[in-house]
């Protein structure tokens, strides 16, 4: 959480139509900042402008251009910005990033917290780690299903992929049996998330898991990857690679 005093303001300039892995670039950056615990960020949409290509882009009632300028702004400490800058440069692609010193006169009052961790994708071969997270289907995080929030957090932090499994029978620390029953939809079943990545990547992500999972079991085990491959993603196609393909 920011305090009053010296800070750094970061502005990221993008084109509205730019995408990364089938997702809009500004949404990917916003997800990354959110799950890294940045104090706050704002996305601003321009109505007209031009960039490095020197083409003028405008919007009107009859034509809404997908090349309109987008600006993402956030204010953080200098130390946090140094941690984030390398990944932000990768996410921004051909966009521009501006950083300058500023002063926080009055920090915002915090209503909801945020959190998370870093990585950078790479080809995985040989020895790796499998992380399995056991939670309940009814578990929540920030008023959302915990398993869904974990999947989004892993995606925002470039974990190679994750698969969510729903158990049909089981019990946990409270010794209460949970089962699927005919003609009855239970919302308190067992959920397991399974992901495979490098040990460094998963251990870097562990503090995020520890903060999000209040009750459950997290297991790390060594595995050997025999083959990890996926076909190239077509333009406009969303990525679905991950643990399920390993």
Q: What is the DSSP letter of 228?
A: -
Q: Where are the alpha helices (DSSP H) in the chain?
A: 25-35, 78-92, 146-156, 199-212
Examine the domain organization and report whether 68 and 172 are in the same domain: no
What CATH code is carried by the domain that includes residue 135?
A: 3.30.70.120
At residue 4, the pLDDT reads 86
115 DSSP β-pair partners? none
Within a domain: 113: no
Q: Consecutive sets of 10 residues in the chain, 246 residues long: mean pLDDT of each?
A: 87 88 89 90 76 54 60 93 93 92 82 48 72 93 92 92 85 62 60 93 93 93 78 47 44
At residue 231, the pLDDT reads 56
Contacting residues for 232 by C-beta, under 8 A, at least 6 apart:
none
Examine the domain organization and report whether 238 and 138 are in the same domain: yes
The model carries a pTM of: 0.52
Report whether 113 contacts 36 (CB < 8 A). Answer: no
Within a domain: 141: yes
Examine the domain organization and report whether 135 and 89 are in the same domain: no
Within a domain: 115: no
Examine the domain organization and report whether 99 and 133 are in the same domain: no
At residue 169, the pLDDT reads 73
User: Which pair of tokens denotes residue 159?
Assistant: 């974990």
Range of the domain at 169: 126-245
Report whether 90 contacts 120 (CB < 8 A). Answer: yes
Examine the domain organization and report whether 241 and 136 are in the same domain: yes
At residue 179, the pLDDT reads 61
Output the CA angle 224-155-124, nearest 5 degrees. 25
Distance CA 168, CA 182 (A): 11
Q: Between 146-156 and 25-35, two packed helices, what is the crossing angle to 10 degrees?
A: 110
Examine the domain organization and report whether 89 and 142 are in the same domain: no
HSE, side-chain direction, 13 A CA sphere, residue 156: 24
Report whether 154 contacts 205 (CB < 8 A). Answer: yes
Examine the domain organization and report whether 23 and 97 are in the same domain: yes
Structural domains of the chain, count = 2
């Amino acid at each position: 959480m920011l305090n009053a005093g010296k800070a750094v303001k970061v502005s990221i300039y993008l084109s509205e139509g730019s995408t990364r892995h089938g997702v809009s670039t500004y949404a990917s950056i916003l997800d990354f900042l959110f799950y890294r615990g940045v104090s706050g960020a704002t996305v601003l949409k321009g109505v007209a402008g031009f960039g490095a290509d020197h083409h003028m882009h405008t919007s009107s009632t009859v034509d809404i251009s997908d090349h309109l300028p987008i600006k993402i702004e956030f204010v953080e400490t200098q130390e946090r910005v140094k941690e984030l800058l390398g990944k932000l440069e990768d996410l921004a692609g051909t966009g521009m990033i501006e950083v300058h010193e500023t002063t926080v006169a009055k920090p915002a009052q915090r209503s909801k917290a945020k959190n998370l961790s870093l990585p950078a994708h790479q080809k995985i071969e040989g020895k790796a780690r499998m992380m399995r997270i056991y939670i309940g289907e009814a578990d929540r995080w920030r008023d959302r299903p915990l398993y869904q929030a974990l999947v989004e957090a892993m995606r925002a932090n470039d974990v190679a992929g994750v698969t969510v499994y729903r158990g049909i029978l089981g019990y946990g620390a409270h010794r209460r049996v949970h089962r699927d029953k005919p003609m009855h939809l239970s919302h308190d079943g067992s959920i397991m998330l399974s992901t495979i990545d490098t040990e460094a990547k998963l251990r870097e992500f562990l503090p995020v898991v520890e903060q999000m999972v209040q009750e459950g079991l997290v297991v790390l085990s060594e595995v050997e990857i025999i083959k990890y491959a996926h076909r190239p993603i077509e333009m406009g196609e969303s990525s679905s690679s991950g643990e399920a393909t390993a």
